[in-house]
Structure 1
Amino acid sequence: MKSLRTYAILYLIFLYAPIALLPIFAFNDATIIAFPLTGFTTQWFTELPQIPALIDSVKNSLYIAVITAILSTLLGICAARAAAKYSFRFKRPIMGFIMVPLVLPEIIVAVSLLVILLQLGLSLGAWTVIMGHVLICTPFCIAILNSAFQNLDPAMEEAAIDLGETPWSTFRLVTLPLVSPAIISALLISFTISLDEFIIAFFLTGTEPTLPVYLWSQLRFPARIPVVMALGTILVAGSILLLILAEMMRRRGLRRAGLQDKGGFL
């Protein structure tokens, strides 16, 4: 047991040490990323708003992430609802096929999408990135929403219909409020994945780079690396906050359904 605990601690240090170094060098008063540190400064953070290309990439990433989160969550609601409520032929193979992007290497997905889009004559841009991100985010949304729909008590929907509600009003007034924590969690997770995703955006972004693609391009210039570190610190902090919020909504949904929390993102 002690060796297992030691292994777990060493693994976590190996996994998160590079992330922990981001804020250290982001506040370091030097353009060279190395020890020893030369002093404390917030200069790199104040330079961020003064880079027009950076601001444009942030706006582009936020636009793509918001649209991706909305589309992925809507598709996830439809798929999870159908899988939980209805029985149809080839149900398991179809759901398994939908979840395939979870295990496919992103480089394969990116190259395949690039070839298909070029063959169709579509120009690369924000919407091609959105299509790629929806493809990889939808399975995550389905995984989150599927358990929420499966844990719903069918008697509640049946009671609403018996009281005169239509199937649509029952879904809107009864079902959606009950699964709303899972919906919010799916929105936050897909937003975070889209905002941080690099490989698909690198292949499909065209002339309007997303933030990760822009950061990759700046690594060629040593003088820009501290600014990249500062921005990376902000992104890591924002991603952690979004994941914490998503996990809180997931647990809130479990408590509302009267279920025991058996693990999650945190």
Structure 2
Amino acid sequence: MLRAYVWLFLAFLYAPILLLPVFAFNDGTVIAFPLDGFTTRWFGRLTTNTELHAALGNSVVVAASSAVLAVLLGLAAARAQVRYRWPGKAGMMGLIMLPLVLPEIIVAVSLLVVAVQVFGLRLSLLTLVAAHTLICVPFAVAILNASFAALDPSLEEAAIDLGETRASTFRLVTLPLVMPGIVAALLISFTISLDEFIIAFFLTGSDVTLPVYIWSLLRFPRELPVIMALGTILVILSIGILTLAEWNRRRGLKRAGMDDKGGFL
């Protein structure tokens, strides 16, 4: 019964996604059965849409910047959590991980008020990068915690005993050993930022990101097949990135000689 429940749950969760390529290759503009025929013209429309290209470029810039910043901050937080003790450590780490459980709509409205009313900032891609960094840091910390926990402290101690400084030990010993976790955190953070809509909807200025642009297309029913084609490409891209991130995670555990106790998600 448990196995049947799992399969039913997966079917309920992913069946709508599996319909994306079905309607992306459908010749009709109405998203309904029966299908009108096979076509690839909706994918061709994607190559000529300049507004879509601009939104995609904005999303890539924001996602790449947010991922790099989140991993840099996550490295410091994960390192401190695994290797050091200080007063209030549990509370501080809880605050860092808090965006994982807070409703995004609350986070988005709060950030909007702080950015506009408190600091008087103009909404732009910079404000969106800061917001996406905030929500990506907990994911980076969760992944990097496992990487630092799997690292044998005696390796760093041996390097220091042999004459290396703490900085050179971190650069030459620690970073290479946790690099699979860093790559996995980068890929996950990039995917989360690329797909995020609610915070982008509130904090994007005139330069919209891809999810916000897709939302604007929903007002035009004849554009729905184009959204289906775009969604098909994004799903394939997301699955590829997540697969690569999981492969890096497992490679890191294998190098550390640890048992795999489950995926990082």
**CA deviation string 1:226-248 (max 9, x = no partner):** 01110000000000000000000
Residue equivalent to 1:66: 64
Find the residue that maps to 1:10 and give its secondary structure: helix
Candidates 97, 100, 115, aligned match of 1:99: 97
Residue equivalent to 1:15: 13
Residue equivalent to 1:224: 223
Aligned partner letter, 1:230: A
Distance 2:3 2:263 in 1: 20
Q: How many residues align?
A: 264
Find the residue that maps to 1:31 and give its secondary structure: coil
Residue equivalent to 1:182: 181
Contact 2:160/2:166, CA 8 A, preserved across alignment: yes
Aligned partner letter, 2:109: V
Aligned partner letter, 1:246: A
Task: Spell out the pairing of 1:66-215 with structure 2 (5 A cutoff).
Answer: 66-119=64-117, 120-215=119-214
How far residue 61 of structure 1 moved from its aligned partner, in angstroms, is: 0.2
**CA deviation string 1:23-68 (max 9, x = no partner):** 1000111111000111111100011021111000000000000000
Distance 2:264 2:222 in 1: 36
Distance 1:37 1:224 in 2: 17
Candidates 22, 25, 28, aligned match of 2:26: 28
Aligned partner letter, 1:53: E
Distance 2:145 2:112 in 1: 30
1:156 and 1:265, CA in 2 relative to 1: closer, same or farther beyond 3 A? closer
How far residue 210 of structure 1 moved from its aligned partner, in angstroms, is: 0.4
Q: How large is the RMSD of aligned CA atoms in angstroms? A: 0.8
Matched, 1:246 2:245: yes
Residue equivalent to 1:52: 50
Distance 1:194 1:35 in 2: 34
Distance 1:49 1:131 in 2: 30
Aligned partner letter, 2:169: T
Distance 2:94 2:107 in 1: 17
Matched, 1:258 2:232: no
Aligned partner letter, 2:12: F
Contact 2:21/2:228, CA 8 A, preserved across alignment: yes
Distance 1:89 1:143 in 2: 21
Distance 2:53 2:173 in 1: 42
Sequence identity of aligned pairs in percent? 64
Aligned partner letter, 2:11: I
Contact 2:58/2:210, CA 8 A, preserved across alignment: yes
How far residue 265 of structure 1 moved from its aligned partner, in angstroms, is: 4.9
Alignment TM-score, normalising by the size of structure 2: 0.98
Distance 1:170 1:41 in 2: 57
Q: Which runs of 4+ in 1 moved over 2 A?
A: none
Mind listing any 5+ residue stretches in structure 2 that lack a counterpart?
none
How far residue 10 of structure 1 moved from its aligned partner, in angstroms, is: 1.1
Mind listing any 5+ residue stretches in structure 1 that lack a counterpart?
none
Alignment TM-score, normalising by the size of structure 1: 0.98
Distance 2:36 2:210 in 1: 29
Residue equivalent to 1:5: 3
How far residue 147 of structure 1 moved from its aligned partner, in angstroms, is: 1.3
Contact 2:143/2:264, CA 8 A, preserved across alignment: no
Distance 2:80 2:242 in 1: 27
